[in-house]
């Protein structure tokens, strides 16, 4: 067991990376594996700085390939392990992430998106949206929470551990360099004080008792000989994933009930949309927001309902429509017209959205 | 609802991020809503370093903004990079003793300060950024001098305790920075 540092409600002024390290501790994480890459380094720096007090563990591996597989190794050894990465690191960690998907490992990873493709910028983007949801040679049986600020980072990092350990799909907190590096106030708390019960860490291998008598043998495979054998397993995963999708899907609406122009945005861009919506409403334009919090799986029913109510849709992202592609697939059959405001690797400001929505309102 | 949007830009190593941290820490301790994003390139040293700071009375939505109320430009490259954040409501401050040109922008007011020269000739090159912090404090008027001093104590208190003359030096730099704005306004 590790020592939990946050025992009562504590208001702090932190960077998002620091928040994530505290959140992992509050979620009773025991071990972090990682390799440095901007803009997520301070997650491991903070985690390490806290080690003397938490009694947790850390290993800096030689690269992200190793960090990903080591995380799996740690979990197989019975530890509540996690990792964090960004950009090219997220790319080369996909092999391990696919393995976690295949072996149903409760793999928790914080992704702090930076610009792409390749090294690009070290600062900010939403260009790892597709990669985090569907990277690797698999089907995207993953759960991805997209956060919009420090309170979200704390809340959803804790939740990510519970989701991963309960459902055994790789679970991600998808944020970005702005959230990682920026400072804003946040309220840290002990999950128990909010009625959150942490799903216990259980041993995947070397469990208690005798195999065949006290417990079933653990046979975790990432290799299959027969094509049909693989499909049978994956059909089971797919059924599991679809069964839980509705119960884990989360979203947030802001003034969406009577919105004529519905903005669909995730992460920190959704926060800029809120600023824009307040300004647009003051000018008499009925704008609203639908923000998927889980971008994988999406909350399809509420999404379709909100889109059906609106006259027009605006997709806005710091990417070239990575979320829009995923959403549009779920909107099949609806005919609500849509516009786009995509800024690849660049922050979307409230003013950007105000100007775009005003041009859409004039067009009607 | 009041929100002050600040862009603070200079060369890497000028201490832009250090004073941004002190500024937002001061705002946080004063009970304001604050949000700060550091922005820099892949270089260890050099390159343009920008700090986006917001200080508000109510919860802050957008983390990045299109136009700032106060834009501080501490090098030629910072002028080039940050002109985009200026509009007719912005106050632009630039350092005449570092920049070789004047920002060509349409704005409410352009103020030239020679903080770098003053730091080098009268105080110490190391407190250049603290002079700028004084300039910023006076130009924004959303925080009190005591808020900034408390935040400086939190960031630099250990160094100050080891060398008390550093505290005096930094306070002096802060006050001289504030004076630079006042002198300009009176002129």
Domain at B108, CATH number: 3.40.920.10
**Backbone dihedral region of A28: left (phi > 0), alpha (psi from -120 to 50 degrees) or beta?**
left
Q: Is B34 on the interface with A (CB under 8 A)?
A: yes
Beta-carbon contacts of A232 under 8 Å, excluding residues fewer than 6 positions away, are: none
Q: How far is B34 from chain A (nearest CA, A)?
A: 6
CB B172 within 8 A of CB B130: no
Our separate counts of H helices and E strands in chain B read 6, 6
Per-residue pLDDT of A313-326, as tens digits, reads 999 999 999 999 99
Nearest to B62 among A122, A185, A349 (CB): A349
Domain count, chain B: 1
CATH number of domain containing A22: 3.40.50.970
Average pLDDT over chain A reads: 96
Most B CBs within 10 Å, among A182, A273, A282, A347, to test the B interface: A182
- Kindly state whether residues A264 and A176 are assigned to the same domain: no
Residue A349 DSSP class: P
What is the pLDDT, as a whole number, of residue B44?
A: 61
CATH number of the domain bearing residue A264: 3.40.50.920
Residue A41 lies in a domain: yes
pLDDT in tens, chain B (187 residues): 589 999 999 998 899 999 999 999 999 999 999 999 998 666 666 689 999 999 999 999 999 999 999 999 999 999 999 999 999 999 999 999 999 999 999 999 999 999 999 999 999 999 999 999 999 999 999 999 999 999 999 999 999 999 999 999 999 999 999 999 877 655 4
Range of the domain at A60: 10-194
Same domain, A16 and A158: yes
Q: Which of B51, B53, B63, B67 to mutate to test the interface with A (most CBs of A within 10 A)?
A: B63
Q: Which of A43, A44, A108, A50 is nearest to A75 (CA)?
A: A108
B67 in contact with chain A, both atoms CB, cutoff 8 A: yes
Helix (H) or strand (E) holding A263: strand A261-264
Instruction: Report yes or no: A143 and A164 within 8 Å, Cβ to Cβ.
Output: yes
Q: Which CB contacts under 8 angstroms, 24+ apart, belong to A61-64?
A: A61/A33, A61/A34, A61/A35, A62/A35, A63/A35, A63/A92, A64/A35, A64/A37, A64/A89, A64/A90, A64/A92, A64/A93
Strand partners, B56: B3, B33
Q: Measured between CB atoms, does B36 come within 8 Å of chain A?
A: yes
Q: How close A34 comes to chain B (CA, Å)?
A: 20
Q: Are residues A25 and A151 in the same domain?
A: yes
Establish if B63 touches chain A: CB-CB under 8 angstroms: yes
Residues 6+ apart with CB under 8 A from B34: A13, A183, A184, A185, B24, B27, B28, B53, B54, B55, B56, B60
Instruction: Give, for A266, the enclosing helix (H) or strand (E).
Output: none
Q: Is A350's CB within 8 Å of B33's CB?
A: no
Cβ contact A57:A31 at 8 Å = yes
Rounded to an integer, the average pLDDT of A324-329 is 98
Clarify whether residues A282 and A349 are in a common domain.
yes
Average pLDDT over residues A248-266: 98
Total number of domains constituting chain A:
2
Per-position DSSP letters for B70-114, written without gaps between them: EEEE-SHHHHHHHGGG--TT-EEEEETTT-SS------SEEEEE-
The encoded tokens of residue B163 equal 């060398």
Q: Inform me whether the C-beta atom of residue A36 falls under 8 Å from chain B C-beta atoms.
A: no
Model pLDDT, residue B187? 46
This prediction's pTM: 0.94
B159's tokens: 């160094």
Q: Is A146 exposed, middle or buried (0-12, 13-18, 19+ CB in 10 A)?
A: buried
Helix, strand or coil, per DSSP, at residue B28: helix
Question: Are B64 and A178 an interchain contact pair (Cβ–Cβ within 8 Å)?
Answer: yes
């Amino acid at each position: 067991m590790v020592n939990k540092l946050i025992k009562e409600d504590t208001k702090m002024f932190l960077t998002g990376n620091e928040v994530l390290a505290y959140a992992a501790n509050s979620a009773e994480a025991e071990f972090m594996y990682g390799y440095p890459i901007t803009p997520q380094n301070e997650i491991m720096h903070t985690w390490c700085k806290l080690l003397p007090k938490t009694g947790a563990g850390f290993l800096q591996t030689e690269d992200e390939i190793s960090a990903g597989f080591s995380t799996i190794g740690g979990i197989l050894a019975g530890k509540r392990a996690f990792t964090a990465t960004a950009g090219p690191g997220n790319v080369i960690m996909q092999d391990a992430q696919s393995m976690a998907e295949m072996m149903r490992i409760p793999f928790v990873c914080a992704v702090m998106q930076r610009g792409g493709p390749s090294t690009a910028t070290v600062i900010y983007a939403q260009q790892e949206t597709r990669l985090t949801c569907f990277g690797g040679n698999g089907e995207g049986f993953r759960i991805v929470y997209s956060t919009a600020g420090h309170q979200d980072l704390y809340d959803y990092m804790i939740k990510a551990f519970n989701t991963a350990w309960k459902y055994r799909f790789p679970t991600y907190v998808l944020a970005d360099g702005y959230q990682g590096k920026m400072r804003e106030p946040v309220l840290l708390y002990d999950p128990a004080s909010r009625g959150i019960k942490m799903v216990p860490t259980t041993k995947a291998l070397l469990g208690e008792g005798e195999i065949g008598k006290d417990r079933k043998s653990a046979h975790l495979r990432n290799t299959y000989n027969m094509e049909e054998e693989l499909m049978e397993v994956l059909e089971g995963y797919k059924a599991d994933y679809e069964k839980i999708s509705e119960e884990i899907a989360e979203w947030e609406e802001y003034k969406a009930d009577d919105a004529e122009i519905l903005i669909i945005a995730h992460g920190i861009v959704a926060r800029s949309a809120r600023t824009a919506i307040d300004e647009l409403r003051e000018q008499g334009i009925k704008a609203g927001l639908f923000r998927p919090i889980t971008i994988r799986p999406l909350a399809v029913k509420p999404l379709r309902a909100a889109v059906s109510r609106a006259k027009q849709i605006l997709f806005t992202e710091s990417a070239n429509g990575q979320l829009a592609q995923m959403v549009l697939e779920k909107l099949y059959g609806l005919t609500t017209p849509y516009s786009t405001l995509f800024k690849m690797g660049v922050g979307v400001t409230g003013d950007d959205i105000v100007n775009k929505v005003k041009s859409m309102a004039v067009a009607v | 609802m009041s929100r002050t949007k600040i862009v603070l830009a200079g060369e890497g190593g000028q201490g832009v991020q250090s004073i941004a941290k002190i500024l937002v820490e001061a705002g946080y301790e004063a009970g304001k809503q604050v949000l700060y994003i550091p922005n820099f390139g892949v270089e260890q040293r050099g390159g343009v370093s920008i700090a986006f700071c917001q200080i508000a009375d109510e919860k802050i939505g957008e983390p990045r903004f299109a136009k700032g109320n106060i834009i501080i430009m501490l090098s030629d490259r910072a002028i080039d990079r940050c002109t985009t954040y200026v509009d007719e409501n912005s106050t632009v401050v630039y350092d005449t003793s570092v920049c070789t040109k004047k920002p060509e922008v349409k704005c409410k007011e352009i103020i030239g300060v020679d903080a770098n020269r003053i730091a080098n000739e009268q105080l110490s090159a190391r407190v250049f950024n603290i002079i700028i912090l004084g300039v910023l404090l006076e130009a924004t008027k959303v925080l009190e001098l005591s808020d900034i001093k408390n935040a400086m104590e939190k960031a630099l208190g250990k160094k100050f305790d080891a060398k008390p003359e550093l505290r005096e030096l930094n306070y002096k730099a802060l006050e001289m920075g504030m004076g630079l704005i006042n002198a300009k306004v009176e002129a």
